[in-house]
Amino acid sequence: MASYNTSEFKKGLKVQLDGDPYIMIECNFVKPGKGQALYKCKLRNLLRGTVLDRTYKSGDSIEAAEIEEIQAQFLYRQADHFVFMDNESYEQYELTAEQVDDAWKYLKESMLCSIILHNGQPISMTPPNHVVLKVEYCEPGAKGNTATNVTKPCKVDTGAEFPCPAFINMGDLIKIDTRTGAYIERVKE
Amino acid sequence: MRDEKPPSNFRPTASWENLALRAELLRKVRAFFDGRGFLEVETPILSADTVVDRHLDPFVLSPLPANLRSVPGEGPGVRAEQGSCTPQPLTASPHPNPLPKGEGTLFLQTSPEFAMKRLLAAGGSAIYQVAKVFRQGEFGPLHNPEFTMVEWYRVGDSMAEGIQLTSDLCEALLSRGPADRVSYRQVFERHVGVDPLTAEAAELQAAAARWNLEVPEGLGDDRDGWLDLLLVERVQPRLGLGRPTIVYDYPASQAALSRVRPENPPVAERFELYVDGIELANGYHELVDAAELRRRNREVNARRRADGKIALPEHSRLLAAMDFGLPPCTGVALGFDRVVMVAAGAKSLAEVIAFPFDRA
């Protein structure tokens, strides 16, 4: 089993503790000039989101998590599950609503997403940074008002609502940043 | 721990303002020692000798293998990759790597201590140096594997005189008044509630539990390991918050290269300067007994092997100098980058080092 020595510790490292995968979100090196070096780490559980404090001595090691990232397209939603298909192996993966979290707002059929697998099981997914969605309902557009600082809620084809500028109309295609949920621009195609 | 992004950012991490402050403080250091009759010296950074310390790992350089010295038609790039400039990794393994065999193994110095003491044995009386030193594996907000050390020695100084000089230099550089003096025993009794000189490992472990400290595995009965943990977590952050603080009289087991005063319990005549919770300097009333240094070197290497680290050379020209006669003296090493950091009110060394390790 692969493992990481303290000299390899850094933010973003994916490790395994008591069978659960964790990501190192902080690693602070402390050492008295003539004394024992310590690595004070914060680790977030990738399944539960809980955060652990752990201190390691120089030379200690942690087991590496069997983490793999795949590209998969979104197929469909079935009740509380979201079904994706690995683009290379055609294998299908089911993620729970909890694992998909807020990303459901962006999911359209055949959208290519990245899925994190732990020991071959999906644990989380990330949509592309930018998605194009179709506005299905909003208050009528204010003609000539090109201001972007005044917003109104627009319901899109995934069922989610995003604040958009006043000039947006029903049927418009809008580009959204999935990392922030912010409107970027109106697009043609 | 190096940044894995492509090396595209050429810019310094320190502001020009902080680099100017750095230069100004360096002038003040030289003015301080020059004004007191110290002689500025330079000694090798690359040496066959190295300080033998349980927790200091030098960068080790081995000689270029003979078959790589002149390969016709091979560019310098190939040789740079395979040649002598690649530090040997010091890995922890059950069977520690022996040092590269044969003549020519060299160490980047973790401090200029050995060579400066050789100068004292050869007639030096008050000397100082501003040196680049190197410590493998030490990288964080308060550590950079390459850093600048100001180190000085004065023959005839007792520990108290060494502490006074350190306090004076600190005042000259940081203007925070004279340093408070407090013993290692007192700071532990105050901030931890144990006697660090007599407590067993189990008592220190109980103290760590009482203060809810997150404890690494495997400290076991390593008293010094527990003391270091308590020092880092409970004591250091509370030192030098108003006036600078100098902690003195360390446990004999942490004497390093200092003299041990045979009291009951014995204490090491070693001291450290703290400002804003940060360790700035470490000083010794120096050990001058060569036989005792030989004994400590053996003991340190035994511990290093047990820790899974390579042993370091026990024989050195320093021992030859001590056999000849090292005069009684006190010596101090000051982490200059940290002084600049504290003076600038910065939170990380990267703010005062032009190009820290991950951008070097």
DSSP state letters, B340-357: HHHHHT-SSGGGTSSS-G
Query: Model confidence at A189, in pLDDT bands (50, 70, 90)?
Result: confident
Tokens of B80: 């740079």
Residues A93 and A121 in one domain: yes
In this structure, are strands B60-61 and B106-108 parallel, antiparallel, or unpaired? antiparallel
Q: What integer pLDDT is reported at residue A188 of this predicted model? A: 87
Parent domain of A39: 3-63
Q: Is residue B206 part of a domain?
A: no
Give chain A's domain count.
3
Question: Is A37 close to B138, i.e. CB distance below 8 A?
Answer: yes
Residue of B nearest to A28 (CA): B140
Residue in the structure block whose two tokens are 């003491």: B117
Residues A28 and A7 in one domain: yes
CATH code of A143's domain: 2.40.50.140
Residues A56 and A27 in one domain: yes
Question: Is B308 close to A59, i.e. CB distance below 8 A?
Answer: yes
Which of B 81-120 lie inside 8 A of A, CB atoms?
A: 91-92
Give pLDDT tens digits for B89-121. Answer: 444 433 334 555 556 789 999 999 999 999 999
Query: How far apart are alpha carbons B284 and B237 in whole angstroms?
Result: 22
Amino acid, res. A75: L
Question: Is B140 close to A55, i.e. CB distance below 8 A?
Answer: no
Tokens of B317: 């020209």
Which residues from B are below 8 Å from A11, CB to CB?
none
Q: Is residue B41 part of a domain?
A: yes
Residue of A nearest to B308 (CA): A59
* CB atoms closer than 10 angstroms to residue B325: 11
Percent of chain B scoring above 70 in pLDDT? 87
Residue A96 has pLDDT above 60, yes or no: yes
Residue of B nearest to A8 (CA): B1
Give chain B's domain count.
1
Domain boundary among A126, A143, A173: A126
Complex prediction ipTM: 0.83
Q: Tell me how far CA of residue B113 lies from CA of B128, B237, B256, in angstroms.
A: 11, 28, 12
Nearest chain A Cα distance for residue B69, angstroms: 31
What is the average per-residue pLDDT within A181-186?
Answer: 94
Give pLDDT tens digits for B19-51. Answer: 999 999 999 999 999 999 999 999 999 999 999
Query: How far apart are alpha carbons A71 and B205 in whole angstroms?
Result: 48
CATH code of B96's domain: 3.30.930.10
Do B285 and B159 meet the contact criterion of CB atoms below 8 Å apart?
A: yes
With b meaning 16 or more CB within 10 Å and e meaning fewer, what string describes B57-67?
bbbbbbeeeee
B125's CB contacts (< 8 A; 6+ apart) are: B154, B155, B156
Give pLDDT tens digits for B212-268. Answer: 999 999 999 999 999 999 999 999 999 999 999 999 999 999 999 999 999 999 999
Q: Is residue B172 part of a domain?
A: yes
Question: Is B232 close to A30, i.e. CB distance below 8 A?
Answer: yes
Query: How far apart are alpha carbons B148 and B236 in whole angstroms?
Result: 22
Q: Is residue B223 part of a domain?
A: no
What is the average per-residue pLDDT within B165-182?
Answer: 98
Parent domain of B137: 16-179+243-359
Q: Is B258 left (phi over 0), alpha (psi -120 to 50) or beta?
A: beta
Domain boundary among A85, A109, A126: A126
CATH code of A31's domain: 2.30.30.30
Nearest chain B Cα distance for residue A100, angstroms: 29
